Structure 1
């Protein structure tokens, strides 16, 4: 095994060719597909008379367009029904494993692959979804790709890419109560900017990440793309192996020890060279909330919306745009901002640990009058586990709606949408204009616990006050 970072080792071991452009042809170990970016890709294969080269390395689910209130077929949305039918047909025709609604394993693509043990250290993973970087939490190199690239991977199991630089993001120390993995990545993006990671892979290191669970690491890696990075990863360790052991597609019996030995070998070397290193102190990270129209426009819960004078010159134009769109005044505290909708879910924060933390805040309280609050598990397995633990009852008693699995009000390609100028407290990953289904809807990103706090208070609220 060559020396260097995990990224170098995985990249080199999966390079199968060099193209005339100078790009490397990278073998993709696992290809994840869903109903949104795959129909056109399959159509392009048929036009060229091509077949899926390695259907056993492709796994499908349906997530973006599924309704979360009533999943009876056919869907009331004709286009959504056509999209799921196309995925069903394409998987059947090509012998691809498909986790459909009711299978017990359906859910958001970046939730189901880890919980099935499909995601493993040292893999290359691709999916026609920008948040594929989630899988880097396992020490995989995972890329979100476009529709034409989905076609390429289906046809050749390879991807043409230029090699990235590697930035080490080191966070050390213990997070304070009320501060979560979501706050860590929002703080990183706030500091480095949405373009700071362009051309980079982010390696997350330091004692803070070592202390995180796998689900917390997934939250951080999930939003690497929001900081401009092509992918993000954490070196595999005991936490990784304990999560994977015994899962359906994880190595079994005698193969397990062989796999662990391999996974240990790909860990970044102590003397690995990085293109850049940035260090953070975990104790300085507060509960963080976005105030603007990019994930970098974030502040601590006890801070005020920054004035243009407080911002770097390059950030002032988009700040002015954000003030106008969000209707938030510069210099005004973010805490106390009234909310209309509170959404807990998404591939960032729809896992069982996210729901547990939110339920701790919801228990014993009730959703504020005039606020719509709902919880959407990330998968059928997450839903089953949450219900077995009674989390659904806690949420419902507090006035939250308990939904079926799906992407829901993240991309809002389903009935879960903001209406008009509604302001949403959301545990999802993007706060762009119109992101949650309304052309004028507004989004504040925060941790699931902070969303729960906003729901019961009716306004942006410091979750630490409720923990106390």
Structure 2
């Protein structure tokens, strides 16, 4: 039975989650045995965990608390088909099937109409609910904070332990609140907001923290836009991200297949409304950002904090702590083939990619359609759209978005992680430069020697039709 007793005094939302899920305290250093409500599995990070279970002749304790998806290595070609011998990732996919069958875990396989990227699929199915603690072998499990759940990524050995015991040894984090005020300026999206946050606090600025996002802007955002922010909080080092659930979250969840029904729903919503930080709760760090100061953002380097506004330029090299040139920046500029002081607008691209667990939901695709409607992808640019799930793809088809994409010259693909991390056949070549709606711009992330510029889906769309990095606001004004 879970420990639902909290200590006296005002609590943050994070502390309420951890207190409610602590089985027992393990030491005076903050380590606890934490009960985990749900786990999402994929074909890429789970094989060793299942092999460990088999070798030890153990069993999965609560298989109904896990959901498995195929998303990392599967092909996203326009026509979906079952994997065959010789296909990329076929052994990983087949092993996941066997593990799910042997241990009674539900699987959204390649041809399942519910298949898709795990952090898109789990929320749209109602598998993640407010107040839950969720762990998965993927760092972007922080996405679920947008629903008022606590999600965090874990390693292979932890996946094994979780499957067998439904618990993890866990150390409490410090707390940070990021308050974002104001309204979104024209052409600015939640992707731009979180990129601005990461630039402000740094790629390790939230290391050791659970981050709660608050403020008038968060309140005004849609649930899908909130997911983008929580998803990329990990790029600032956050071990978890939160937003207090509200009526928008409840309405989003009510329409999902696995949400509670009837009296159970009414009781659940009553409990969920209490999931917020107490008024007098004290956070270890407070950060503030005015959304109205943010413009469309573009990454120029090889770390998610190496970004600037579209009206800006590549920064100049700065002296390091010992008076020398900042070698990290120098290396980033060398890898990206950019020069200090070079304007970001106008940098030519060879590829445009719209997809990933960060930005491949239906609202993202609607943004893209508004930009590319009546326009064509520039000559010499390969433009790809990979929806976040099969259901998103079907909805885009039903709304007529797919036709807009195809008419503009985009490849309209099946769902999967695809070029976000280049684990299937969607890989860039050395020197290719990609405008990308993904979450990471590390060296080689989209292919060895490939250069990635992170930006919002609308900004990617603008770059695709212009052939170079371009301010989407100028296209919107033209319309």
Equivalent of 1:428, from 418, 431, 438?
438
Match of 2:383 in 1: 373
For the residues of structure 2 that align with 1:77 and 1:105, how far apart are their CA atoms? 25
The offset of 1:19, in angstroms, is: 2.8
Of residues 264-273 and 425-434 in structure 1, the stretch that sits farther from structure 2 once superposed is 264-273
Would you say the 8 A contact 2:136–2:159 is kept in 1? yes
Pick from 13, 26, 32 the counterpart of residue 19 of structure 1.
26
For 1:118 and 1:134, the matched residues in 2 are separated by 13
Deviation at 1:266, TM superposition (A): 2.0
Instruction: Give the TM-score taking structure 1 as reference length.
Output: 0.97
Q: Structure 2: which 5+ residue stretches go unaligned?
A: none
1:349, 1:66 → 2: CA distance? 19
Q: Secondary structure at the match of 1:273?
A: coil
The structural deviation recorded for 1:420 is 1.7
Pairwise CA distance, 1:22 = 5.0
Write out per-residue CA displacement over residues 433-467 of structure 1, whole angstroms, 9 at most, x where no aligned residue.
Answer: 0000x211000000000000000000000000011
| 1:90 alignment partner in structure 2 | 99
Contact between 1:246 and 1:252, CA under 8 Å: does it hold in 2?
no
Q: For 1:189 and 1:8, how far apart are their aligned partners in 2?
A: 24
- 8 A contact 2:33–2:168 mirrored in 1: yes
Note if 1:59 corresponds to 2:67: yes
User: Corresponding residue for 2:343?
Assistant: 333
1:418 CA drift (Å): 0.4
1:32 aligns with 2:37: no
Q: How far apart are the structure 1 equivalents of 2:325 and 2:365?
A: 35
Distance in 1 (CA, whole Å) between partners of 2:471 and 2:300 is 15
Mean Cα deviation higher: 394-403 or 310-319: 310-319
Kept in 2, the 8 Å contact 1:134–1:221? The answer is yes
State the distance in 1 between where 2:15 and 2:160 align: 26
CA gap of 1:446–1:314, structure 2 versus 1, over 3 A, is farther
Does 2:369 match 1:359?
yes
| SS of 2:419 mapped into structure 1 | coil
- Work out the CA distance in 2 between the residues paired with 1:352 and 1:400: 16
Query: Is the Cα–Cα contact under 8 Å of residues 30 and 172 in structure 2 kept in the other structure?
Result: no
> How far does residue 378 in structure 1 lie from its aligned partner after superposition?
0.3
Within-5 A mapping of 1:62-81: 62-69=70-77, 70-75=79-84, 77-78=86-87, 80-81=89-90
Alpha-carbon distance change, 462 to 77 in structure 1, aligned in 2, over 3 angstroms: farther
Deviation per CA, 1:169-222, whole angstroms, max 9, x where unpaired?
A: 000010101000000000000110001011001100000000000000000000
How many Å separate the matches in 1 of 2:390 and 2:319? 45
Q: 1:395 to 1:290 in 2, by over 3 A?
A: same
Structure 2 match to 1:456: 465
Instruction: Establish whether residue 7 from structure 1 lines up as the match of residue 6 from structure 2.
Output: no
Point out where structure 1 has 5 or more consecutive residues left out of the alignment.
Answer: none
TM-score by length of structure 2 reads 0.95
| Contact 1:244–1:250 (Cα < 8 Å) also in 2 | yes
Quote the Cα distance in structure 1 between the aligned partners of 2:56 and 2:42.
21
1:149-168 map, 5 Å = 149-168=158-177
Deviates more, 1:312-321 or 1:25-34: 312-321
**1:102 and 2:111 equivalent?**
yes
**Which residue pairs with 2:281 in the alignment?**
272
Aligned to 1:238: 247
Shift of 1:159: 1.2
1:346 is matched with which residue: 356, 362, 368? 356
Distance in 1 separating the partners of 2:200 and 2:325: 12
Aligned mates of 2:427, 2:152 — CA distance in 1: 27
Matches of 2:286 and 2:218 in 1, distance apart?
Answer: 15
Kindly report structure 1 stretches of 4+ aligned residues shifted beyond 6 Å.
310-315
1:162-311 to 2 correspondence within 5 Å?
162-309=171-318
In the comparison of the two structures, how many residue pairs are matched? 467
